[in-house]
Structure 1
Amino acid sequence: MDFYIKKIVIHQLTTDDINLMLSQKPLTITPKIEAYFQKKLTKVFSADAKRGLLTEDNTFLSYLNDDFETASVSIAQAWKEEFVSSDSRKTNDLVFIQFDKEGIEHFAFLRIALKENLTHITNDGDKPIQLTQNTLPSATQAPDEALIINRQSHQYYLIEKRIKHNGSFANYFSENLLKVKPEQSLKKSIKMVEQTAQKVADDFNQDDFIFQSKMKSAIYQNLEEDQELSPKKLANQLFDSNLTARLTFVDELKDSIPESVKVADIDHSPQIKKMESQKLSLSNGIELLVPNNIYQDAESVEFIQNQNGTYSILIKNIEDIQNK
């Protein structure tokens, strides 16, 4: 993903004295700083993101005026009012970024918890190893929390954590600060699809290794070819010969996944990579790693159920074998 970063403002919350330290001016953007925050933004457009649309009357949206610095202060103060009730006692950088993605302006708010690290400081006598405060985590580490808003469509991408808030665990960011109910993330949706499919298959006596492989292939096809996760399509693929099972599967998911989950706007390559092959562990100790396109090809591999209940696997048309 390509991002053109235009402005960065960083405020800081020191949780020892609950003090919000406001920056007086935007950060000077060097190539290294730009590369660092581009990687952070990439982590938000991911399978971990909850998504949704902010309505025109949403209070949080009203903070986003044309003055970027003023907006960052208003949001930092509103966020602090909610966050101070949590049990977190780390110093946090509140990073606000104005950037373009595919020519469209976006607004980002990243909460990054700072760390303590040991640092080797040269020419410092007998104490070259010292503990440094306020160290930023690596660029490849996802922000602790993040919100990105498309300024044109008001679509948002949210990374939030359930934290202890006013004595109980809550998603304070979406519930209290944004006051929205976002769609669940793609990662969680996949997990719910898998759990529901296994439950339905078990209820209808279909839950065996063949069904597990079929489920993995179906989810892979949804994500790779259709660019979505559709309960209805999956129901037809997984329970094609059982109408009751199909209806049960869709009904079980209607509250958590009422519509197809679109994935074209987020990086879902880790989920595709995880499902692009079937890994089979056999009772005799043999393990097979079979790409999905071969697994589904009857001319390449065949699974045979023997009369005594055991299985045989026939691998066909092998031109060459290498020992790796």
Structure 2
Amino acid sequence: MDIRLKQAILHVVDRELGDPVVSQVGLDLTSVFVRDYLTKKIEKLSSEKAKTGTLVPTSTMATLVKTSEDNFTTMSQEMVAKWYEVYQTSEDAPSADVIVALFEQDEQLNVAFLKLNYHQAYTHLVNTDGQGQLANELIVHKSILAGKTQKADEGFRINVTDLSFELDEKKYTFSGDRAFYLSTKVIESEPLPSLEENVKLVTKTAKKIGKNFDVPDREIVANVKEAIQENIEEHSSLDTQQIAQKVFKDNPTAQTDFKETVVEKGYIDQGPMSNEIKEIATKKYGKQKLKLSNGIELIVPLDVYQDSNLIEFINNPDGTISVTIKNVEDVISKL
């Protein structure tokens, strides 16, 4: 992912202080650690949990984003004000810093909104006592931000040209009810389900249908993962027709039941995914994780799992299952 930062600004949202403390000056992008921190946070907005969609062209957020290049600082302040108008009504939403960034990726201009919740951490304070002696104290700092390797607690990125977005949001309590708010009340554009949500729905439905036809869960999950991986590599999206054919092979009745059930459960195709999400998904769903009843755990690449010359599951007469790993040239023990 090649990200070129153009501008960025940080606004303080300490709920104990009241309204946000908005900055009038951008962050110093000549600083290596600032660029590195922001780049890592923006990269992590792309994940299998990211919801996608397109802003309503007439929405307030779309209007703001279109002014980002010419009037970045004011745009960022108005964006935070719109967000905080909703956020402050939550009973449990925590204090945070908000970073708004303007950047280019693949020659496309984007705006990122990153919310970084505060964390408590211990640090030292150099002080003096009543006699003027140095006194090093241990104190709790309540406004620590997460490190660069951790994703933002919430955020979104919007393509300035076509208004497409990726969104990662959390539920907070509003008037006693926990609910998402970024999509419904801030960007005002209903997103499509994330890849993770669709995969969970597909897998749960496949297991349910599989039980009706006496297909073991481990076979269902392995076939679902393989179908998902093939879908992503070939089409950059999920196709329930192809998943049904892959999972239930020569059983047209099970295929039909599966396709009807996922629709009943509310499955919505998320559409083509970005290259970043494709790469993440290929790694995640390219392995089969097995936990045996005797405590043994295995992580097996799908191509190995499907090859009976390398791994075999044998149903024993007493109802137990034997797992045989074959043709291993070496075993490496790791701590």
Question: For the superposition of Structure 1 and Structure 2, which TM-score range results when normalised by the shorter chain?
Answer: 0.7 to 0.9
> When the two structures are superposed, what TM-score results if normalisation uses the length of structure 2?
0.85
Among 79, 85, 88, the alignment partner of 1:81 is 85
Q: Is the 8 A contact 2:248 2:255 kept in 1?
A: yes
Partner residue in 2 for 1:212? 221
Shift of 1:92: 1.8
Structure-to-structure mapping, 1:96-135, within 5 angstroms: 96-122=100-126, 125-135=134-144
Structure 1 unaligned segments of length 5 or more: list them: none
Letter in 1 for 2:189: V
Greater CA drift, 264-273 or 4-13: 264-273
Partner residue in 2 for 1:295? 305
Structure 2 unaligned segments of length 5 or more: list them: 129-133
Partner residue in 1 for 2:53? 52
Q: Distance in 2 between matches of 1:299 and 1:91?
A: 56
Q: Is the 8 A contact 1:93 1:114 kept in 2?
A: yes
Q: Distance in 1 between matches of 2:317 and 2:228?
A: 31
Q: Distance in 2 between matches of 1:76 and 1:282?
A: 49
Q: Do the aligned partners of residues 206 and 129 (structure 1) sit closer, same or farther apart at CA in structure 2, a change above 3 Å counting?
A: same
Letter in 2 for 1:72: S
Q: Is the 8 A contact 2:55 2:188 kept in 1?
A: no
Q: Distance in 2 between matches of 1:284 and 1:170?
A: 40
> When the two structures are superposed, what TM-score results if normalisation uses the length of structure 1?
0.88
Percent identity of equivalent pairs: 29
Q: Do the aligned partners of residues 204 and 17 (structure 1) sit closer, same or farther apart at CA in structure 2, a change above 3 Å counting?
A: same
Q: Is the 8 A contact 1:228 1:261 kept in 2?
A: yes
Q: After superposition, give the CA deviation of every residue in 1:19-73 in whole Å (9 maximum; x if it has no partner).
A: 1212122122211101001111011011121100113222321122131112112
Q: Do the aligned partners of residues 67 and 283 (structure 1) sit closer, same or farther apart at CA in structure 2, a change above 3 Å counting?
A: closer
Q: Do the aligned partners of residues 202 and 71 (structure 1) sit closer, same or farther apart at CA in structure 2, a change above 3 Å counting?
A: same
Shift of 1:243: 1.8
Partner residue in 2 for 1:150? 159
Q: Distance in 1 between matches of 2:299 and 2:84?
A: 50
Partner residue in 2 for 1:181? 190
Letter in 2 for 1:141: Q
Q: Is the 8 A contact 2:206 2:220 kept in 1?
A: no
**CA-atom RMSD in angstroms:** 2.6
Q: Distance in 1 between matches of 2:115 and 2:295?
A: 47
Among 277, 290, 296, the alignment partner of 2:287 is 277
Q: Do the aligned partners of residues 213 and 152 (structure 1) sit closer, same or farther apart at CA in structure 2, a change above 3 Å counting?
A: same
Instruction: Kindly indicate whether residue 261 of structure 2 is the aligned counterpart of residue 257 of structure 1.
Output: no
Q: Do the aligned partners of residues 286 and 109 (structure 1) sit closer, same or farther apart at CA in structure 2, a change above 3 Å counting?
A: closer
Q: Do the aligned partners of residues 129 and 97 (structure 1) sit closer, same or farther apart at CA in structure 2, a change above 3 Å counting?
A: same
SS at match of 2:84: helix
Letter in 1 for 2:25: K
Q: Do the aligned partners of residues 141 and 189 (structure 1) sit closer, same or farther apart at CA in structure 2, a change above 3 Å counting?
A: same
Shift of 1:134: 2.6
Letter in 1 for 2:83: W
Q: Distance in 2 between matches of 1:146 and 1:260?
A: 19
Q: Is the 8 A contact 1:18 1:84 kept in 2?
A: no
Q: Distance in 2 between matches of 1:25 and 1:15?
A: 22
Q: Is the 8 A contact 2:56 2:188 kept in 1?
A: no
Q: Is the 8 A contact 1:228 1:264 kept in 2?
A: no
Instruction: Kindly indicate whether residue 191 of structure 2 is the aligned counterpart of residue 190 of structure 1.
Output: no
Structure-to-structure mapping, 1:23-42, within 5 angstroms: 23-29=23-29, 30-42=31-43
